[in-house]
Structure 1
Amino acid sequence: MSIRLGINPLTWTNDDLPSLGADTPLEVCLSEGRQAGFVGFELGNKFPRTPDALSRALGAHELALVSGWYSSRLLERSIDEEIAALDDHLQLLKACGATVMVYCEVSRCVHGDQDMPVSRRPVMNDADWQRLTTGLDAVARHMADQGVEMAYHHHMGTVIESQADIERLMASTTQVRLLLDAGHLTYAGGDPVTIAERHADRISHVHCKDIRLAVMDNAINRDKSFLDAVLDGVFTVPGDGGIDFAALFAVLARKGYGKDTERWLVVEAEQDPSVADPLTYATLGYQNLSRLARDAGLIN
């Protein structure tokens, strides 16, 4: 198997709530992530957006580019418009060696609105589903032709959030591959182990965020926004919450995640860095993730 451990800069700075970690330089994120033990980073809003500059920034810390988030609007744009809109991002990932794109449809989304309860997230009708899934297959095919897989990120506050949404997405597409995010799926009331069992052959990327279940229950009961739940500390690093990563990784190992193609396990656990010290949690995340992955046979 060929699996590497990476991290997302959300531990240090937050794209959805830029005030979190606003004064933290990129160099601090990269140096502390490498110090914690990770060998790759996903992109964030402080990263350079040209191949040469990005490669230099990561290379200075012996880090690889894992991937980078893309906000799709296929419910608002044509397929050709979407392909044109994502091209710069696609070429950046491709030039810097990333083989997957974190891809999420954000039309009508509410996860970035601190005043909007996540329960008000958009729900698609049948025509929306047809338009979106047709578009996703076309865009995924275009990306794959250039050597980058679409890793679709189900996400709280968006049109594809729940386990039922994931099942319908998988049933309605043939080219789309899945980013399995244990934290988002648990928050949405789903079971990451079940999705891994059913769709392991289409999982191309894994985000390893844990959930503080009591905080999650409080956020749901009080009908809070996604960002307020983040500020409350709903997410944490693997092994520090209530998700059974041992069971999830056992399924991924049995199903051959990373067996034939290099894959990543990525700590993506947004917290308030003024409350949850980034280096402390990055180190804890690496230690727990590496132990859990090793025990499951995902890494040596």
Structure 2
Amino acid sequence: MTQALDRIRVGSAPDSWGVWFRDDPHQVPWERFLDEVAEAGYSWIELGPYGYLPTDPARLADEVAARDLRVSAGTVFTSLHHGPAVWDATWEHVGQVAALTRAVGGRHLVVIPSFWRDDKTAELLEPRELTAEQWAHLTKGMERLGHEVKETYGLDIVVHPHADTHIDTEDHVERFLDSTDSDLVNLCLDTGHYAYCGGDSVKLIETYGERIGYLHLKQVDPTVLADVVENEMPFGPAVQRGVMCEPPTGVPDLEPVLAAAQRLGVDLFAIVEQDMYPCEPDKPLPIAVRTRAFLRSCGA
């Protein structure tokens, strides 16, 4: 008998509709995303890139409510390993997203570190490994961000390990968690990105359960991933190759991940994100419907 995952709140995001940018001719209009995410059976959404959905809080609240949806989080990219020099610019951007997130009822801010190589061209933007000083800037900066976001906007930040960033592999994720205060910073565990970088999501949940503040659900195609790793392909082209695939066809198996999350005994968002930029406009909805049915079969 499938376990009832009553602590898991399932949602989806613009990413599952091929949306990576605030404005791009390859992306579906925001109205279509909202219509289809509701049609697919999801109750919760993320805001996606700032400016893709309306940024006027009243209008956004009306559009979301009209489709019986609610907002779980906003998302920001940061480069805090560069130290205090980037704080003011970071805070200006974070403030925009956090204010909108709070205004429409969201409680989390997903924080993604900046890329060390160009997402499209593979050009090396900076070294893959941080220096000790940069690690200190990163961890202290994230703690400061967590404190300021909580104090100013009442939101919790959850840091998202991501392919081609400095928080990616098991070693990097554990170093980051061991170097930060759980009262200020916790993790958005993206099952697909963690598998992409060789990590075991169930192990991470069981080892660092108190630090898991949020989930992104996705899977990788192991055959495509092997080719991506062998050819040192950057993340953007890897996505175009189909490295992130429709569940339950890839890894990790999501049922044990969700069961491990349920055992933590706390309420957690689990937001579906199947990276597939760019994609044909008619592709996302059928996948979203099947994915929601699959997650229901897991008890979520």
* Structure-2-length-normalised TM-score: 0.88
Match of 2:8 among 3, 22, 38: 3
Structure 1 residue 184: Cα displacement: 0.2
> What letter corresponds to residue 16 of structure 2 in structure 1?
T
The secondary structure found in structure 2 opposite 1:101 is: strand
Number of the residue aligned with 1:149: 156
- Cα distance between partner residues in 2 of 1:170 and 1:91: 26
2:41/2:289 contact within 8 Å kept? yes
State the one-letter code of the partner of 2:273: E
Inter-CA distance 124–158: structure 2 relative to 1 (3 Å threshold): same
Provide the C-alpha distance between the structure 2 equivalents of 1:154 and 1:242, rounded to a whole number of angstroms: 17
Residue of structure 1 in register with 2:3 after alignment: none
1:198 aligns with 207
1:20–1:167: structure 2 CA closer, same or farther, 3 Å change rule?
farther
Check 1:121–1:54 CA distance in 2 against 1; reply closer, same or farther (3 A cut): farther
| 2:34 aligned residue | 30
Q: CA deviation at 1:2?
A: 4.1
Q: Residue 122 of structure 1: CA displacement?
A: 2.6
The one of 269, 280, 288 equivalent to 2:274 is: 269
Verify: 1:245 aligned to 2:254, yes or no. yes
In the other structure, the counterpart of 1:170 is: 177
Residue of structure 1 equivalent to 2:58: 52
Verify the 8 A CA contact 1:93 1:99 in the aligned structure 2.
yes
Q: Go from structure 1 to structure 2 and tell me whether the alpha carbon gap of 1:252 and 1:123 turns closer, same or farther (over 3 Å shift).
A: same
Contact 1:117-1:226 within 8 A present in 2 as well? no
Q: What is the alpha-carbon distance in structure 1 between the residues aligned to residue 53 and residue 196 of structure 2?
A: 29
2:104 to 89, 93, 96: 96
- Write the deviation string for residues 169-225 of structure 1: whole angstroms up to 9, x where unpaired: 110000211000000000001111111111111111100001111111111112212
Call closer, same or farther: CA 1:97–1:17 in 2, change over 3 Å: closer
- C-alpha displacement of 1:276: 7.8
- The aligned residue for residue 128 of structure 2 is 122
Superposition deviation, residue 16 in structure 1: 5.7
Identity of aligned residues (%): 25
Q: Which residues of structure 1 form unaligned runs of 5+?
A: none
Deviating 4+ runs (over 4 angstroms): 16-20, 117-121
Amino acid at match of 1:203: I
Matched, 1:288 2:294: yes
Instruction: Give, in angstroms, the shift of residue 11 of structure 1.
Output: 2.1
User: CA separation in 1, counterparts of 2:9 and 2:17?
Assistant: 21
Q: One-letter code of the match for 2:167?
A: I
